[in-house]
Amino acid sequence: MINPIIIAIDAMGGDDSPNKVIDGISLHSEESKDVNYKIFGNKELIEPIIKKNNLSKNRYSLIHTNQTVQGEDTALSAAKRGKGTSLWMAIESLKKDDAHAIVSAGNTGALFLISKLNLKMIENIDKPALSALWPSKKGMNVVLDLGANIECNSKNLVDFSIMGSALHKALYDKDKPQVALLNIGSEEMKGNATIKDTYQYLNENKYTLFDFMGYIEGNNIMEGDVNVIVADGFTGNIALKTAEGTSNFIISELKKALSSSMIGKLSSLLNFKNLKDFKNKLDPRMYNGAILLGLDKPVIKSHGSTDSIGFANSLKVCEKTIRGKLIEQIKENIN
């Protein structure tokens, strides 16, 4: 058991940073007593926020840099900014084994490229995949790829099945991963040649890590009958953005309906707990923290527009991947 866990953090990435980052670290530190934080960013901006949060000095180290990757940077221009940026330094600390994982809410393309420049791929994996958590009726789903790879072959999708299952096992040890391929139909003849080849391979080759359940359509993702959903990055990203937009629309319309009349306001008071539970179920902050799978160290992407609660949840996901020995499980099963 790793004790303490050390998480490297790019404190300057994303909206309202470093405020939300340090506030998120403070929230997470209250729940996780054996996690320490290696914070990279502008000391002059960060120290006043740390003091405001009363974060214990023995829980963090602060490494100063006033160089940052900007949100509008391309991945290549971000890498060319050099090794002095808070993002590069945080990832480099992971490379040097000074931390066990890295979290950033900054530029997604820059995070991917700089991670690939500094960290090794796990042997026998050709492409990394971006994975995230989605709620379902029966628990949580792991969904991948969410945009790291627009085009995939059948080997990539098989690798994603293994990596996604290892992630689910690391996060939710008691539930056996149930894998399905996201497709336009549930019948064997549906889909393109790549997804058909993947179906045939997974159907014929049994894995002890997971059970292969076949195809799943987009309207069944949240039913909970499977808990690992695999797609190429193009399909997965569209599904993710559609789900996020639908969730935000429902919450917004519900708020509007419950505040537009006295009856609505009275109803919301009488059903306060149920409405709060409903909102939390759909709140994307509760599931914040996408994982770049395939590298030999855990790299976690927090949503750039999330707040301190969302960032704290990305740290929680990060902690779970380390405790659940995610990388070891992938290496064990990929061969």
Q: What confidence category does residue 60 fall into, taking pLDDT thresholds of 50, 70 and 90?
A: very high
Q: What confidence category does residue 1 fall into, taking pLDDT thresholds of 50, 70 and 90?
A: low
Q: What is the pLDDT of residues 295-312, one digit of tens each?
A: 999 999 998 888 999 999
Q: How far is CA 40 from CA 10, 60, 207, 231, in A?
A: 5, 11, 41, 34
Query: Which residues on neighbouring strands pair with residue 290, listed in sequence order?
Result: 301
Fold of 127-286: Isopropylmalate Dehydrogenase (3.40.718)
Q: What is the pLDDT of residues 64-73, one digit of tens each?
A: 999 999 888 8
24 within 8 A of 310, measured Cβ to Cβ = yes
In Å, how far from its chain's centre is CA 79?
22
Mean pLDDT for 306-330 is: 92
Per-residue model confidence (pLDDT) at position 243 = 79
CA atoms within 13 A on the CB side of 145: 21
Q: Across all residues in the chain, what is the average pLDDT?
A: 88
E-strand stretches of the chain? 5-10, 35-41, 60-64, 101-104, 129-136, 139-144, 178-182, 211-216, 228-230, 290-293, 299-301
Phi, psi of 175 (to 5 degrees): -100, 125
Per-residue model confidence (pLDDT) at position 148 = 87
Q: What is the pLDDT of residues 18-51, one digit of tens each?
A: 999 999 999 999 999 899 999 999 999 999 999 9
Q: With H, G, I as helix, E, B as strand and everything else as coil, classify residue 41.
A: strand
Domain 1-125+294-335 has CATH 3.40.718.10: yes
The domain segmentation of the chain, as residue ranges, is 1-125+294-335, 127-286
63 pLDDT higher than 90: yes
Number of neighbouring beta carbons within 10 Å of residue 218: 16
264 pLDDT higher than 60: no
Per-residue model confidence (pLDDT) at position 247 = 73
Q: How far apart are CA 141 and CA 228, in angstroms?
A: 6
Total-model pTM:
0.87
Q: What is the pLDDT of residues 69-124, one digit of tens each?
A: 988 888 888 888 889 999 999 999 999 999 999 999 999 889 999 999 999 999 99
184, two tokens? 């336009």
Q: How far apart are CA 144 and CA 221, in angstroms?
A: 12
The reply to whether 1-125+294-335 and 127-286 are identical in fold is yes
Mean pLDDT for 158-168 is: 95
